[in-house]
Every structure is written in C-alpha cells, then in structure tokens.
Chains A and B, each alone.
Chain A
C-alpha cells in the first residue's frame, strides 16, 4: 500500500502542495498529467530521493517519511532506466540481493526466476551497453523487482519504445503485476497505456492531485 498524507514538496520555484492519495496493496495505479506537473518529483519523494517539506509518506502502513532510500524497500524504474554500464544483465538482477547478503544459491535461483519471467534468460551474460530499448527496459524492471519490494514505481517506462515493443511490454507488466502482486504506481502520458494496465488512475493538475476513476 502506498499512502501520501498532505505531502508538500518544494523544489526551487516548483511546489507540490498538500498531495494526498492512497493506492491499496496489490493495485496498479497510473499517474497522469502534463509535463512539468511534478509526477517524477512525487515518485522521487516516495522512494526517498527527494525530501518532503511536510506531510507523510506511508508504505505498507509504515511511516517512511524520514527513512533513507535504501531502507524503504521500493523498486524504482526511472525514465532513463539508469542501468549500470559496467555490469552484465545477471549482475543487475543480483545487485540488490548481494547487498542483502543472500547466498550464491539464493541469488542464482532468484536471477533465473526473474530472467524467465522477463524473457531475458538468453541475455544474462551480456553487458547492458549492447541491449535494445525493450531489453534494457526488462533489465531495469528485473533489477527493481529483484529484492521483492513492497511497491514498484515506474516513471514513464515505455515512452522511448516503439509501438510493437510497447504493446509487448504492456502484456509483460500485467503479467509481472499479477504474479508478484506488487503495488505499482506507473507514470504515463498515454491514456491507452493507463487503460491497458491500471485499475486506478490519478492525475496532477497545477500541483493538485485528482483521482480520475
């Protein structure tokens, strides 16, 4: 569950005032709104990369407002994916598991499981520099899901993909969400994408949050 209570974020001239919303556990929410409305800022506040000026960020019933990003257990896929150029696909999937001191066997089992779910088994030993847009997208998704986070935040993950790959990724995201039941907040400009994936929808207009359905 993701809950924001009266969250205000000030970033230079930009301000998001008293934003409140709740996404129940296991739901897939789409966050829409025009460019520059603060959607990415909101996602960064949820995963702890941006400080909130006031209000509360609650994840699975726990107030994490003052927690560091590393303690929040939030899977985050930024718009530019930000893959680690020096690592292979397998190392991406194992990155968070190694930090959690899991055994080699546990890491192997989890990376294989994720690779199968995301259809990237054949890419496991490849360096990420040589991947296509869709493949990179899957790796970023796998990296974010690897440690079984409480929630998953996706910042326009499909915007740079071609039509066919995007359709394919719709199916994959739906499948991932159904099999992991991770609470998901997905930023998108596409109504079609929101229709295909989300079971609840929010939008930001002039710094104010609205539930659209």
Chain B
C-alpha cells in the first residue's frame, strides 16, 4: 500500500499541475472572450493556417521519417552515427536558434547566389516570411520527432519476416512495402500525431523565419504572442484554450485511428 501511495503521489503532482493550469485558464476566461476571439478575422485566418500548416508538416515529416527511420533501424552504413546525431539536433537546439539558422540558410550569399532570391525570382516560390516558411519551421522540429518514433517502430518489427519475404520472391523494396510497412501502421499514426502536435506548439522558429504578419503568416501560437504583446490577455488565454481543444481533438482522433483494426 505505501508503495502505491508514494508512486501515485509523485505521479499525481505532474497530472495535477497540468489540470490546475488548464483549470486556471478556463476560470480566467469566459464564453464571451471565446466568441470575441473566434469572430476576429485575424484569429480565424490564424486557425485556418495552423490547421493547414500542421497537417502539411506532419505529412512531410512522415514521408521523411519512414525511409530514414527504416534505414537507421535496419542497416549499418558508414557515417550512420553521424546521421543519427544530426537527426537529434533540431530536438536539442533552442527554437530561436533553429529559426535563425533557417533564416541564414535562405539568405546566405554564396558567390553572389542566394537560395531565397533564387526560389523567389527564378522558381516563383518565395519562402521567407511567407506560409512555406511556417511549414518549413514546423517541419524542421516535427520531423526529428517523427524519425525517432519511426525508428523505434521499425526496431520493434522482426526483420526475419522481411528476410522470409525475400526468399518468397520479394525484392528489398517489395519486402519493405508488403511486409514491414503494414506492420508499422500504428507507428506511422504515432509519428504523425507527434509531428502534428509538435507543429502546433512551434513558436520560436516561426517567429524568426516566417514572422508574425497578421492574415499572412500568423498561426495560433503567434496569435497568443501578438495578443499578449498588445495587452489582450483575455484573447490570448482564449486562443490558448482553443489550441488545447484542437490538440485534444486531433490526438484523440489519431489514437482512435491507431487503435483500430490492428488491435
């Protein structure tokens, strides 16, 4: 009994902290504040952009995380530990530094050539301080988490099944698509969830790399900052709670999807 009291007591401290924070937010705000926030065109635009960019960065993250996670899990190749370390850098880097690094990357002149200028003038697809910068800033961090999730997923899948598939006539690619990938479906959902949630919470790199221009590059996390900066505390709290509700809805939906047919 004392064992469970101690374990439960320590665990409940963290749970209690989260619940109290949310409760404080709810008590601070009112239905009126929500209505005021939701009818603002700027916040509606930010909500729409948030949903779109989070979904885009989560899908992009999954596309990269599946092959990279698989390669890191299955193969020993020269420089593997370097790749493994590089993947973690966006996780440990301070968010502002990540945004700054993206900004420098796109505007560093290399013998008179500049990535951003080339994208904007020659390709017609400017990135910095536009919506693609929001996606890229979110993707840079979200992808690192998705890669970790997919790697653990493939680590837990027995490679023998792929070996047997190859003896049955599969190429390596067929063994991956027909045997490994179907087994990784729940890991893929987990990776998408993590990437989506990380993207929703991203703020620092977006502020530096995409800016916080209302109706253009403003996402909900920057809305909270912008509302706070003009002293609109009620609106900032209301938007924060909207983010909590969206996050909970998306996470629950993805969990239901993940616990579907394979369970």
A, B assembled together = yes
Q: Which one of A68, A82, A85, A100 contacts B164 once the chains associate, using CB atoms below 8 Å?
A: A82
**Number of chain A residues whose Cβ lies closer than 8 Å to a Cβ of chain B:** 26
Say yes or no: B262 contacts A78, CB within 8 Å: no
Q: Which residue of B lies closest to A69 (CB)?
A: B166
Taking the closest CB of chain A, its distance from the CB of B224, in whole angstroms, is: 42
A72 pairs with B167, CB closer than 8 A: yes
> Which residues from B are CB-within-8-Å of A48?
166-167
B51 proximal to A (CB < 8 A): no
Query: Would you call B161 and A70 a contact (CB within 8 A)?
Result: no
Pick from B168, B169, B182: contact of A86, CB below 8 A.
Answer: B182
- Of A72, A80, A82, the most chain B CB neighbours within 10 A belong to A82
Contact, CB under 8 Å: B167 / A86: no
Nearest Cβ in chain B — how far from A10, in angstroms? 16
Q: A76 contacts B182, CB within 8 Å?
A: no
Centre residue among B161, B167, B174, B179 by max chain A CB count within 10 A? B167
Question: Which residue of chain B has its CB nearest to the CB of A92?
Answer: B168
Partner of A99 from the list B163, B169, B183, B185 (CB cut-off 8 Å) is: B169
Query: Once the chains bind, are B167 and A84 in contact (CB under 8 Å)?
Result: no
The answer to whether B160 touches A147 (Cβ under 8 A) is no
B171 within 8 A of A: yes
Supplied contacts A84-B179, A84-B182, 6 more A-B pairs, CB within 8 Å? A74-B167, A82-B163, A84-B161, A84-B165, A85-B161, A100-B169
Q: A residues within 8 Å of B by Cβ?
A: 44, 47-49, 68-70, 72, 74-76, 78, 80, 82-86, 95-96, 99-100, 143-144, 146-147
Q: Give me the interface of B with A, judged by CB distance under 8 Å.
A: 158, 160-161, 163-171, 174, 178-179, 182-183, 185, 262
